[in-house]
Amino acid sequence: MSMPFYVSPEQVMKDKADFARKGIARGRSVVVIQYGSGILFVAENPSRALHKISEIYDRIGFAAVGKYNEFENLRVAGVRLADLRGYAYDRTDVTGRSLANAYAQTLGTIFTETAKPYEVEIVVAELGVDEATDQIYRLTFDGSVADEHGYVAMGGSAEAIEGALSEVWKSGQSEFESLTQAVHVLSHHALDEVRTLSGRDLEVAVLDRNRSRRTFRRLETAEIDRVLAG
Amino acid sequence: MIPSSSGGVDLNIALSAPRHASFSDFLLRVSGSMGVDVPLNSHTPMVDVLHGTTIVGLQCAGGMVMAGDRRATMGNFIAQRDIEKVFAADSHSVVGIAGTAGLAVELVRLFQVELEHYEKIEGVSLSLDGKANRLATMLRGNLGMAMQGLAVVPLFGGYDLAKEKGRLFSYDVTGGRYEEHDFYAVGSGSTFARGSLKKLFARGASETDAVQAALESLYDAADDDSATGGPDLNRRIFPVVAVASADGVRILDESEVEDQVRRLVERRHVRPDGPFAPNDGGATS
């Protein structure tokens, strides 16, 4: 009878993490940027049907990179949880913080207890009453949560993109400036070459402070092209 | 009511539930009941509960109009003077409710979440027929209560983006769904409101004229039905009026309705029974 090889827990975790990281880095990037009157989500995503960005609740948006079926599962679960909470209590009782906690618990459990971790990274963003009270949570495949300010980039060459954003992003900028910024960094820093990105290559949405109740709004291709044309 | 623990349902349950875009099905799964779950039998004594009264709806050029009075009664009491019984169900549809107020308001709340939930999960809205059918199914769940006298009677309508017109649906307590053409009314004053609309409704009328007709018919309902509230000029309580068109649902501003209602009341000072319908059939024979 053969004995299974001993593998140290450190090695198991490291292997899982490397596996997940590799999967996430393969895809295209998503950026989330705060601006004066809202939060902007921009994904490089030519599909009109398979979304990387979506609405969870009145003031909560979701963005993800990695394996579609996995983050889609998480998104649906998030919508269910938010709708259930809002129905059981009140719409104002649905918060980004509690949702980020739930995601962290679930991702953490999946990472430690299953053979294959989720190859996803997600952002849960909640619109506050002003820029200072906006909340952006970044959740990684192992359930770690980070509270982010200003901007976040995930997937692909996330580091290079965040580096580029750190030089241009400023507090209180307009939606227009943010979108131009996001498209600029995606077209210049996502790959080694410089590309031209148009509305057809992008999925764009905002949580807009000027809207009442459901603040989430998608920008249509023509609308994105209009902004990019200046 | 759903158990208090349901707000604490964790993400794993939400994650493992089968993929389905219905919120109420998910609710049933996590809480074991949907809405009120009281065992009832024929010996259950009737209790005094709030009743909502009259809702009218009619098609107009480019959409439809729905309006409701503001009264809720409990037996012979006026329980509330300013209850709202007409709601936007989602961006392009409206729902008005008559009957047991507590159940009806809860039904509307669940229906609103249901539509929004579907839209978020699937990325597109349900068709207007889909929404109407969904409401029928939810209503059927209340049949047991309706048999005990706690009936909910909604009126549903909206702008059908595919057919490019306003449409209207009525229901019975068994969940029967009936498409209404032109106009309809539900609730205790509906008989009078419908009689009034018969004379006032005109196909292809403008939105403004349709709102006018709706307000006239509600006035007539309040005139003859004690459970329907007329416009309360002293307290400035006026009917809730919703308009659904290609641009979406618009609940009319109170000042906008007040303006129309005050002029209507002026006209009724002159002719208390309202607009005169000429008996032209008799004139030609």
pLDDT single digits (tens) B205-227? 999 999 999 999 999 999 999 99
A41 Cβ contact list (under 8 Å, min separation 6): A30, A31, A32, A53, A61, A63, A123, A125, A203, A204, A205, A206
β-bridge partners, B160:
B165
Parent domain of A193? 27-228
**Residue A15 belongs to a domain:** no
Q: With pLDDT > 90 as the criterion, what percentage of chain A qualifies?
A: 87
pLDDT above 90: residue B170: yes
Neighbours of A169 (CB within 10 A): 19
Chain A residues with CB under 8 Å of B11 CB are: 77-78, 81, 102-103, 105-106
B17 touches chain A (CB under 8 A): yes
Q: What are the pLDDT digits (tens) for A131-170? A: 999 999 999 999 999 999 999 999 999 999 999 999 999 9
Residue B3: predicted pLDDT = 39
Q: Give the span between the Cα atoms of A136 and A150, in whole angstroms.
A: 8
Which residue has better confidence, B154 or B144?
B154
Inter-residue contact B152 to B139 (CB < 8 Å)? yes
Confidence of residue A3 (pLDDT cuts 50, 70, 90): confident
Per the CB < 8 A criterion, the answer to whether B61 and B204 are in contact is yes
pLDDT for B137: 94
- Please list every residue in chain A whose beta carbon sits closer than 8 Å to the beta carbon of residue B4: 88
pLDDT digits (tens, 9 = 90+) for A87-111: 999 999 999 999 999 999 999 999 9
pLDDT given at position A27: 87
- Asked whether the predicted pLDDT for residue A226 surpasses 70, the reply is yes
Segment A201-208 shows an average pLDDT of 96
Total domains in the fold of chain A: 1
Higher pLDDT, B14 or A218: A218
Size of interface A-B (CB pairs under 8 A): 65
Output the pLDDT for position B32. 67
A153, part of any domain: yes
B56 close to A (CB below 8 A): no
Percentage of chain B beyond pLDDT 90 is 72
Our CA-based measurement puts residue B262 at a distance from the nearest CA of chain A, in whole angstroms, of 30
Closest C-alpha among A83, A70, A204 to residue A140: A70
pLDDT class of B50 with cuts at 50, 70, 90: confident
- Residue B226: CB atoms within 10 Å: 13
Q: What is the DSSP letter of B237?
A: B
Tokens encoding B282: 């008799």
| Pair type for strands B72-74 and A151-154 | unpaired
Nearest CA among A227, A178, A168 for reference residue A207: A178
pLDDT exceeds cutoff 50 at B285: no
Query: Could you identify the residue written with the tokens 């709708």?
Result: A83
Give me the phi and psi of B177, to 5 degrees please. -120, 125
Cα–Cα distance, A174 to B35 (Å, whole number):
44
Domains and CATH numbers, chain B: 51-270 (3.60.20.10)
Partners of B88 on chain A (C-beta within 8 Å) are none
The Cα of A192 is separated from the nearest Cα of chain B by a number of Å equal to: 34
Contacts B15 to A, Cβ<8 Å: 73-74, 77, 106
A16 within a domain of the structure (yes/no)? no
CA angle B13, B18, B23 (to 5 degrees): 75
DSSP structure string for chain A: -PPPPP--HHHHHHHHHHHHHHHHHHS--EEEEEETTEEEEEEE---SSS-SEEEEETTEEEEEEE-HHHHHHHHHHHHHHHHHHHHHS-GGG--HHHHHHHHHHHHHHHHHHSSS---EEEEEEE--SSGGG-EEEEE-TTS-EEEE-SEEEESSSHHHHHHHHHHH--TT--HHHHHHHHHHHHHHHSSSS-----GGGEEEEEEETTS-S--EEEEPHHHHHHHHH-
Q: Is the pLDDT of residue B142 over 90?
A: no
Residue B16 confidence (pLDDT) above 90:
no
Q: pLDDT at position B39, please?
A: 54
Burial of B172 (0-12, 13-18, 19+ CB in 10 A): middle
Question: What type of residue is B213?
Answer: A
**Is A69 a member of any domain?**
yes
Query: Is there a domain that residue A21 lies in?
Result: no
Nearest to B121 among A79, A89, A103 (CB): A79
Mean pLDDT within B157-161: 97
Q: Which residue of chain A is at minimal alpha-carbon distance from B106?
A: A87
Dist. CA B252–CA B242, nearest whole Å: 6
Look at residue B5 and tell me whether its pLDDT is greater than 50. Answer: no
Backbone torsions φ then ψ of A109, nearest 5 degrees: -65, -45
> pLDDT band at residue B37, thresholds of 50, 70 and 90?
low
**Distance from C-alpha of A33 to C-alpha of A40, rounded to nearest angstrom:** 5
Please provide the average confidence, as pLDDT, over all residues in chain B.
89
Q: Do B10 and A83 touch (CB under 8 A)?
A: no
**Smallest CA–CA separation between A160 and chain B, in Å?**
32
Inter-residue contact B201 to B213 (CB < 8 Å): yes
What is the ipTM metric for this complex?
A: 0.92
CA distance B166 to B64: 5
**Residue of B10, B11, B30, B113 to mutate, interface with A, max A Cβ within 10 Å:** B11
Please tell me the distance from the alpha carbon of residue A4 to that of residue B166, in angstroms, as a whole number.
69
Q: How far apart are CA A76 and CA A72, in angstroms?
A: 6
Per-residue CA distances from A103 to A147, B23, B96 (Å): 14, 20, 38
Tokens of B12: 């794993």
Interval B14-36 mean pLDDT: 76
Q: Rounded CA gap, A181 and A184, in Å?
A: 5
The position carrying tokens 């729905």 is: B66
Please determine, for residue B7, whether its predicted confidence score (pLDDT) is greater than 70: no
CA separation for the pair B91, B69 (Å, rounded) = 22
Residue A193 has pLDDT above 90, yes or no: no
Work out the pLDDT band at B34, boundaries 50, 70, 90: low
For the annotated catalytic residues of B, the residue numbers are: 53
The domain that holds A118 is classified in CATH as: 3.60.20.10
